[in-house]
Structure 1
Amino acid sequence: MAESDTRIPTVIADDVHVIYQVNSGGTGKGSAVAALRRIISRKAAPGTREVHAVKGVSFTAYKGEAIGLIGSNGSGKSTLLKAIAGLLPAARGKVYTQGQPSLLGVNAALMSDLTGERNVMLGGLAMGMTRQEIRERYQGIVDFSGINEKGDFISLPMRTYSSGMGARLRFSIAAAKSHDVLMIDEALATGDAKFRRRSQQRIAELRQEAGTVFLVSHGIGTIRETCDRAIWLEAGTLRMDGPTEEVCDAYEKFTNKK
């Protein structure tokens, strides 16, 4: 039997379009009645414009794959992840997923005024872990994040953390359990070399344990080191989908010509 017949699909994107509206400088003022009329008539509010962020993207992801999403700023990478996670509706097309996709930084919905310790509990519960599971994995989460290496930061409010410390803790919470589909948006770009090595090893373990990992990063080196497949988006369209080295090489040639 061919390899393609034995692989298990985890995400299918079928001609996905994502369109949203942004304020282009209007005042945002108006009565509730006027707003209701616009909703009924399906007309946009004055001063808004439509952004066609993802344009007809199709692909199938399989269990055990680590897929890097690359592309220029504003190419639709993060928007596509949100559509896969069910956080943004597709204007056209469909997204089919196995299980509940977990988008790092959203599922671990951390609160800045709570301590790191309380956020570990909160983030774990948000991802479906029991309190007992969180207690059993708590020390491992803290150790993996490395935020206590220079002091007892886990007992401080998260608003006192640097952006890198917060990102490392989010990744550590998300990586403490297996996922059918785990999507990581730029989290590995904030850690030092030691943390990146730990993260890459954990991603490899997650692929073996459960399903598929999507990684968005502007660091092509991180994609090359972590992923075996890459999807290149440009201006919302899928430019290339294939082995990481081939896609990254083509993307770098494209960016060097710009």
Structure 2
Amino acid sequence: MAAIDETFFLDGPPCVVIDRVKMTYKVESSDERSGAARGLKGRLRKALGRPSRVTVTALKELSLVVERGESVGIIGRNGSGKSTMMKLISGQTAPTEGGVYASSTPILLGVNAALVPELSGDQNVVLGCLAMGMSMEQIDEQFDSIVELSGLESAIYLPMKSYSSGMASRLRFAIAAAVNPEILLVDEALNTGDAQFSSRSKARMDELRAQAGCVFIVSHSLETIRDMCTRVIWLDKGELIMDGSPEETTDRYRDFSAHLSKGNNISATRIKDDARANLVATQVLERTSGRRMQGR
């Protein structure tokens, strides 16, 4: 069982509070061994050609408090619940149980962010900024800095469909960061392999955090997470395994992944179980004068 730390009080309101959130989905299953496929109802469904539906847990119950100035990395294997958590924080999806509270509207930057491939980069800058509520005057003021951050230079005037995936990702990040969001969510958009862009994007996120905001980053690149985050959480199969410093958390996860890749499942499980056993859980307690936080 995870340990519970002593109660403490925040100096000011946090940016994001995730309070006992859980996320489940109903999906179709052709597995006749599932409970939904057995019994009289299951046989009737099969006879009528209706697929059985089973409940899948994408995110097990967890609570987190993210304070102003934090940059939180989220790591884990595919299917661990990383993108689900980002969708819950951004408000794209409502949790099955619990609640997510934010001090302002989070801006989600994903690699699939909708821009128009047939239009040039500069035209997409205008469309993207307008969609985030910026005026044309603000866009004019920010345009040069957006192009500089993206690193596209003269390519900004070429059709976006001619861009590599890295170029498109850099443009999406530069657009999203232009609005000075208090809460920025970055989902796999920084893995471009461009060292100069990594340096510029880290500097930009440092600016955002200095403005009393916070940043969430999902990435398979542990180097990106270590360089850009002040705190890292490790998810596995929808469960919170670890919440700690970038160095310690990424080292544990790297060891876990290395043992898995070699087929050492018992050793990998032991590493994960040890990390989970040392987790300091968070509890969100209501009171009349505000929120009281336990744990991290």
Task: Name which of structure 1's ranges 173-182 and 105-114 shifts more when overlaid on structure 2.
Answer: 105-114
- C-alpha separation in 1, matches of 2:110 and 2:75: 19
Q: TM-score, normalised by structure 2?
A: 0.74
The answer (yes or no) to whether the contact 2:29–2:51 under 8 Å persists in 1 is: no
> What is the RMSD of the two structures over their aligned residues, measured on CA atoms?
2.3
Match of 1:207 among 194, 206, 209: 209
Match of 2:75 among 67, 70, 74: 70
**Structure 1 residues 219, 106: CA separation in 2 closer, same or farther (over 3 Å shift)?**
closer
Structure 2 equivalent of residue 165 of structure 1: 167
The answer (yes or no) to whether the contact 2:27–2:53 under 8 Å persists in 1 is: yes
Q: TM-score, normalised by structure 1?
A: 0.84
1:56 is the counterpart of 2:58: no
> C-alpha displacement at 1:14, in angstroms?
1.1
Structure 2 equivalent of residue 29 of structure 1: none
Structure 1 alignment gaps of length 5 or more: 26-44
> C-alpha displacement at 1:257, in angstroms?
2.2
- Matching residue's letter, 1:184: V
Structure 2 equivalent of residue 177 of structure 1: 179
**Structure 1 residues 131, 24: CA separation in 2 closer, same or farther (over 3 Å shift)?**
farther
| 1:72 match: secondary structure | coil
> C-alpha displacement at 1:106, in angstroms?
8.2
- C-alpha separation in 1, matches of 2:250 and 2:65: 19
**Structure 1 residues 136, 66: CA separation in 2 closer, same or farther (over 3 Å shift)?**
same
Structure 1 equivalent of residue 266 of structure 2: none
**Structure 1 residues 3, 139: CA separation in 2 closer, same or farther (over 3 Å shift)?**
farther
Matches within 5 A, 1:17-166: 17-22=22-27, 46=51, 49-105=54-110, 109-148=114-153, 152-166=154-168
Task: Name which of structure 1's ranges 156-165 and 61-70 shifts more when overlaid on structure 2.
Answer: 156-165
Structure 2 equivalent of residue 8 of structure 1: 13
- Percentage of matched positions with identical amino acids: 49
Match of 1:235 among 213, 234, 237: 237
The answer (yes or no) to whether the contact 2:110–2:188 under 8 Å persists in 1 is: no
Structure 2 equivalent of residue 37 of structure 1: none
- Matching residue's letter, 1:67: V
- C-alpha separation in 2, matches of 1:245 and 1:224: 6
> C-alpha displacement at 1:103, in angstroms?
0.4
**Structure 1 residues 164, 48: CA separation in 2 closer, same or farther (over 3 Å shift)?**
farther
The answer (yes or no) to whether the contact 1:108–1:124 under 8 Å persists in 2 is: no
